[in-house]
Chains A and B, each alone.
Chain A
Amino acid sequence: MSLTLDLFTVAAVSLGAVFFLAGTLGLLRFPDTLSRLHALTKADNLGLGLVVLGLLPQVASPLGWIGLIAVWLLALLSGATAGQLLAGAVRPPEWARLTAPGPGKDTADD
């Protein structure tokens, strides 16, 4: 049982670490600031979630779990808003011109 749990931890944490690496790579490789922001918010939140998931079996009391989950929820909340906030702050000045053609070509109206 313990071995299974340990294996689960190793797998989840490793996968989480891979996503962190992906976030960093995106941050370094993507061509513009906004694309980098995509990499950051999406990959890192997933990475953090996986790390939390992996750590759950390692916490002595099952009641310690929920603290970890609280951390993840809060990180998700602030990650989602902070990403949007930064996007608004770092968008290049010409963003309005870029959207000038009007509604996107395949915009669906419902």
Chain B
Amino acid sequence: MNEFLLAAAGFVLVTVALGLIRILRGPGDADRILAAQLLGTGGVAAMLLLGVATGLPGVTDLALLLALLAAFAAVAFVAGSGRGAAGGATPGVAEGGTGGEEPE
């Protein structure tokens, strides 16, 4: 079974690797970030597979972190691309704290 899971991880990796062609070819930077996103989701899957196959502790946490930060990568891209405003027509958000606080 472990062999199968490893093979599956390898397969997912290869598909993700194919996706990396988008990084090479673009054409736009947007397409490149898509490949990075694919790597995020695929990476989560590959890590789960590897983790269960090799029985390493903590790999679930790693996948969790990757899932959490996959969105952060998208934020980095959006912040970098300097274009926002996909949603609300009214600028600014009505609610929400505005204190300079730390996130805990």
- Known: A13-B8, A68-B60, A70-B64. Is A78-B45 also a contact (CB below 8 A)? no
B contacts, CB < 8 Å to A: 1, 4-5, 8, 11-12, 15-16, 18-19, 21-22, 28, 30-31, 33-35, 37-38, 41-42, 44-45, 48-49, 52, 60-61, 63-64, 67-68, 70-71, 73-75, 77-78, 81, 83-87
A-B contact count (CB 8 A): 144
A55/B52 in contact, CB under 8 A: yes
Report whether over half of chain A's contact residues are helix, strand or loop; otherwise say mixed.
Answer: helix
Query: With a CB–CB cut-off of 8 A, which chain A residues contact B42?
Result: 20, 44
Query: With a CB–CB cut-off of 8 A, which chain A residues contact B31?
Result: 33, 36
For chain A, the count of residues having a C-beta within 8 Å of the partner chain is: 46
- Known: A24-B19, A91-B86. Is A47-B45 also a contact (CB below 8 A)? yes
